[in-house]
Structure 1
Amino acid sequence: MKRAEEVYREILFQAMEKGNRGMTQAGLAKALEMSLSMVNLALKPLRRMNSVRIKQRGFDIIDRRKILYYWASIRDVERDIIYRTRVDKPVRNIESEMPADVIYAAYSAYKFRFNGVPADYSEVYVYSDNVEELKKRFQENGKTPNLFILKKDRNLKEMTIALIFVDLWNLKEWYAKAFLNAMEARLDGVLE
């Protein structure tokens, strides 16, 4: 995940899940352990599209929906895949065999976050920085993959609603659309 995307994830987490519509660039830089110039660079396109209002000592979030869809449009899940393999087991078994330190993504994240799914799915996506452990548990076999390990950045501590959405937006499986529609219905009041 690009550093600017970490900024978008944190802004949307604060706005959507914490109800915080005002932040400071310095606060974001400190929280994400990045330079102030990186935060300001990430905010530039958001300012251009009038989704944030830059003030003297911080910024206000004007349009969470625009930020979410902008991030979804630039996100590249494929670039973050560091390991993929086929596991010939049901999805729930694959999920139950994951190490405790993974963060579920996409379909699994939706299932665990909202206690249900709008469609059946056959792929498991997780974020992890311990790929060697996952390679031991789920060995490479050259078959069509159904387990995808995404590189976990140091600031990803828990799955956010916004990250579930942008990851689903970028998946190619046909049922990703059903998950997206369900997410949009859930987010309708949150994004206003």
Structure 2
Amino acid sequence: MSVWVLLLRGINVGGTGKLPMADLKTHMAALGAEAPETYIQSGNAVFEGDIDPDAFATALTERVEALHDHAPRTLVLPGQDIIDARDAYPFAEGFDHPKFANIWFCTDAPDAPDLARLEDHATATERFALKGRWFFLDAPDGIGRSKLAERVEKALGVPATARNLNTVTKLARMVEARQTPGQA
């Protein structure tokens, strides 16, 4: 049985997109997720199951929309992807300030990302890198003040959702706890 990570975008942020995590777990279980476990209130979960990730994401979005009147962007990734993304984070200093070190998980690898546009908006302390479906940003002065961060998705040209290293590390540990030795 495979281990999966669910990332929802726009859940319980600024009073919009309300979705209690108990409801999320119930919805996931109804769609075939086994032993769903959530992390914080912003739509992060780890679960097991023999699922089609795209079909699961679509069904979950439709279910949340029907029952909660909003349709979050839903991304379902193999659990190993979260571990690999954490381990690939290219800026070691980001682990010293993990709230300001972020990874965007893209739905697809960007075909023609406009990285020059991001370079134009980067501050002297910000660094970024793109590797396949992962965009890494180290913003030690704060992600909320970053002009680069607010332009990432548009510059990449594909839907994406970001998580800071605190969250990515916690999700990776949750996945690792479920993996059997030798399982990827």
Same fold (TM over 0.5): no
Instruction: Choose between structure 1 and 2: higher helix proportion.
Output: 1
Asked which structure has the greater CA Rg, the reply is 1
